Chain A
Amino acid sequence: MGKLFAVIVFVIALLSAIPIITHSWFGSGISFALPEDISTHGHAIDDQLSDTMVEAGLSFLAAQFVLAFFVWKFSNRQANAEIKTFPGGAKGLVIAALVLVGTEMLALGILGQKAWAAVYFTPAKPDAIQVQAQAGQFAFYFRYPGADGKFGALHPDKIDEGNSNFFGLDPANDVDSRDDIVTGELAIPINREVHLMMHAKDVGHSFYVRELRIQQDFVPGLDLSVHFTATKVGKYEIVCTQLCGLGHYNMKAYLNVLSQEDFDAWMKQKASEQ
């Protein structure tokens, strides 16, 4: 029975590793690969993830194999079989764990800082494109400051979705808000940094674009922002990852990365529609 356990653990460990190594569901064409990274900071995250995968994968396989091997070898021995002590005893194992795992974790911890710092410890460049994102049950809206480069102030009491005043702007009294451009998709130019200011209208939400390697919560009452640079033209899904109510699963928008010319044209068109 011990041998059966050993075989099953061995097989489970191997089978578990296959989809990780092949990035697919046992040859069915279903891919588990990370989507192509379209950001300037994402490669640091991807590298960190694959380094961690190697270390975690080796630890996983080693521990499962040793477990299987020892159970195979030492289960159901004769009642008078000699009980042996692992060479080095507890002391050796504690030192091994401290040195090996300690170094590993220290390395991961220190290396991982770089990727984190690239996203969070640097401010957005002054010439970054300013966009405000607003999350509400169950849609994202985006706002560009328009020709004057200034966002109009928000007045929550003026929010009126029926009249498409999603942000609660007050163009009658507020000059800055008159040329603000409000859209349902996030269009950005390629290779230009974007400074995304995040505003929650009602409850918590989150902004997740897999290809951008960006995930950031919207927190009501808190002015948060992220900045990123997209490096590939295309349309990507923005989804909400913070439970926000019944429509959570369906709360999404698109990130539209355009060439500079297309972006300028898009902006012009949107400005004329406002």
Chain B
Amino acid sequence: MSDRVVQAVPTTADVVHHHQPPQGFIRKYVFSLDHKMIGKQYYALALVAVFIGMVLSWLMRIHLVWPNWPIPGLGLLSKVGAPGGVMTPEYYLSLLTMHGTLMVFFVLTNAPFAAFGNYFLPIQIGAEDMAFPRFNMMSFWTTFLAFCILIAAFFVGDGPPIAGWTSYAPLSAVGADAGPGQGFGQTLWGLSIFVFCIASLLGALNFIATTLDLRTRGMTLSRMPICTWAWFITSCIALLAFAVLLPACLLLILDRVAGTSFFIPAGLVISDRLQPHSGGSPLLWQHLFWFFGHPEVYIAILPAIGIVSHILINSMRRPLLSHKVVIYCMMGIGFLSYMVWGHHMFVSGMNPFSSLMFSFPTLVITIPATIMTLIWLGSLYGSRLRITAASLFALGFISMFVSGGVSGFFLAQPSIDIYLHATYFVVGHFHMVMGVAAIFGVFAGTYFWFPKMTGHMMNESLGKLHFWLTFIGTYCIFMPFHYLGLAGNVRRYSAFVDDFLVPLIPVHRFITIAALCTGAAQLIFLYNLIHSRFRGAPAPDNPWECTSLEWIMPSPPPFDNFGGKHVVVYHDPYQYGVKSSTGDYLMQNSPEQVEVRT
């Protein structure tokens, strides 16, 4: 690890613009321009979305194994969808659609990327705020608008959308003829995602500009902490991915409301009515959607990789075996993510030769993913690992990342996909590697940064209890999905009536019980979060003895982060395992020279 000293020396000229925080409630807590408040707003929105998404998954799981049990209160939510608390098949599909959309867009995109990125990216590079604070505020409130539009779809007359989070055309494009849930609710879905794309594009641009322009003196690109790199690479991916989904959603909305036929071919007879469309292609929607959809997986997981690496390094008290290799791997994954979208479409009827073209880069992604895993494991070797709630979730992330990753070997191969496509094997795969792993990154980040964000420590014992229950629970839920998939259990069924599916129901019952318990265990987290916010022990400036810039400031940070000063950075981000005046670590902004590990 090199340790160059920058030329710059802080001067009095650096102590310049000192900003006063806004005093009014609205400017401070609602329409705030402060990246820290906006980060918290994103986090709060993700928390609400994940809670709704989780309850929806409970309802689905309960319906699958106890279909006739009237769920108390459900009848009040939708008299048509769940008369007396027993849901109809179409209502099950709406819950499935809403669960996927909420989780992928409003949780997995918002929490690890927008929430933590907003809060810590500017701080970690020594900036006072984001490059465009007004854009930033707009991003959040546009996201909030998208969220409200989506939630409104629950309450429209002909029911919430039922076409799944992928909303394949023509089911999603032809309108109310296609059955319940394909009316106004589906239009709202398209509109919500359209608005969400705008918000994400604004956010991504802001992140990129901030990273490139606002780094403080001495903060070279190679001195950025690994999570800052992850957010930066993710912004580049998001910029290109959402830029494709945005027009795709527009075309879908036009097909629905303006009579165009981008995704609808001629000659469709739906509900005994010949549709007045011609010339469109359903596969076009799939291509556009997955061109966004696959990079989206990495938009969810890369920030988690960055956060987890950051926390692991801190807990191991040593740098990774190679900082640069992990960053190159993230870039490699980001690049490859644009060349693999067709692996979602092996049996879709696209040219079978192109399947092989999509299969190879998909298999190649295994290489950077393996390198990163080996670097984490190799760095654990000989370290002084501290076990905290944050580091447990980071270690749990590695376990999940591996478990979810190896099932990708199967799905990357078109021949095996013939059998496993659209089965619970796929559901298990993406829930583990994209859902649970990314959420573990968020939990790790929360336990790690909560003291900085609020000025209060979280309860470590409760945090560890939360980890054990969640770790064991998620394995109990998602591992059996793979076995069911091998038995050919088809996904997106609201009931299992086929001869070969009925014998598998006891396994589903086990999963449902595991899901209910694991979900209930999240109340521990929620309690810890709220209780610690008000009653937690006061947090010191740097409770974890971490080296990056967020820990040089008071907890919580002042409004303008560094008090109007330009911090000067002298070191690579992770000077651990050294002998300095502070202990076994050296802050990035410390001018002290120590013998560094090579």
Contacts and interface: CB of A to CB of B under 8 A. Distances in A.
Contact of B171 (A25, A113, A241, A245): A245
Nearest to A4: B468
Contact of B415 (A44, A159, A246): A44
B209 interface: no
Given A32-B486, A70-B377, A86-B381, A219 B348 contact: yes
B387 A76 contact: yes
Interface stretch (B30-38, B227-235, B318-326, B515-523): B318-326
A168 B268 CA distance: 11
Interface stretch (A57-65, A141-149, A182-190): A57-65
Contacts of B413: 48, 52, 108-109, 112, 116
A249 B321 contact: no
A83 B383 contact: yes
A16 B475 contact: yes
A204 B384 contact: no
Interface in B463-477: 464, 468, 471-472, 475
Which residue among A97, A115, A215, A220 has the maximum number of chain B CB atoms within 10 Å of its CB?
Answer: A220
Interface stretch (A98-106, A173-181, A265-273): A98-106
B382 to A, nearest CB: 3
A81 interface: yes
Contacts of B258: none
A206 interface: yes
A45 B503 CA distance: 25
B462 interface: no
Interface string B282-321: 1100000000000000000000000000000000111011
A204 B284 CA distance: 13
A8 B321 contact: no
Given A64-B402, A112-B416, A93 B395 contact: no
Contact count band on A: 35 or more
Contacts of A245: 90, 93, 162, 171, 178-179, 182
A212 B289 CA distance: 30
Interface stretch (B124-132, B187-195, B214-222, B360-368): B360-368
B171 A93 contact: no
A222 B283 contact: yes
A159 B73 CA distance: 43
A194 B306 CA distance: 52
Contacts of A116: 352, 355-356, 413-415, 418
Given A60-B406, A74-B380, A237-B500, A49 B416 contact: yes
A128 interface: no
A101 B370 contact: yes
Interface in B458-515: 464, 468, 471-472, 475, 479-480, 482-484, 486-488, 490-500, 503-504, 506-507
Interface stretch (B148-156, B269-277, B441-449): B269-277
Interface residues of B, number: 117
Contact of A220 (B164, B265, B410, B500): B265
A246 B89 contact: yes
B532 to A, nearest CB: 20
B409 interface: yes
- Residue picked from B392, B418, B487, most chain A C-beta under 10 Å: B418
Contact of A30 (B347, B421, B503): B503
A214 interface: yes
Contacts of B269: 136, 156-157, 159, 168, 201-202
B239 to A, nearest CB: 29
A31 interface: yes
Nearest to A75: B385
Nearest to A89: B321
Interface in A21-39: 25, 28, 30-35
Contacts of A79: 384, 584
B161 to A, nearest CB: 11
B327 interface: no
A96 interface: yes
Interface string B21-41: 000000000000000000000
A233 interface: no
Given A1-B464, A31-B487, A216 B347 contact: yes
A54 to B, nearest CB: 10
Contacts of B370: 97, 101
Given A105-B367, A157-B269, 9 more contacts: A30-B506, A60-B402, A70-B381, A85-B381, A93-B378, A203-B171, A203-B268, A242-B422, A249-B492
13 contacts: A32-B484, A45-B416, A67-B402, A77-B385, A98-B367, A112-B415, A119-B418, A156-B267, A203-B170, A213-B418, A215-B419, A221-B266, A241-B422
Interface of A: 1-2, 4-5, 8-9, 12, 16, 19-20, 25, 28, 30-35, 44-45, 48-49, 52-53, 55-57, 59-60, 63-64, 66-67, 70-71, 74-79, 81-86, 89-90, 93-94, 96-98, 101-102, 105-106, 108-109, 112-116, 119-121, 136-137, 154, 156-157, 159, 161, 168, 200-204, 206, 208, 210, 213-217, 219-222, 224, 237, 239, 241-250, 252
3 nearest interchain CB pairs?
Answer: A221-B265, A84-B382, A90-B322
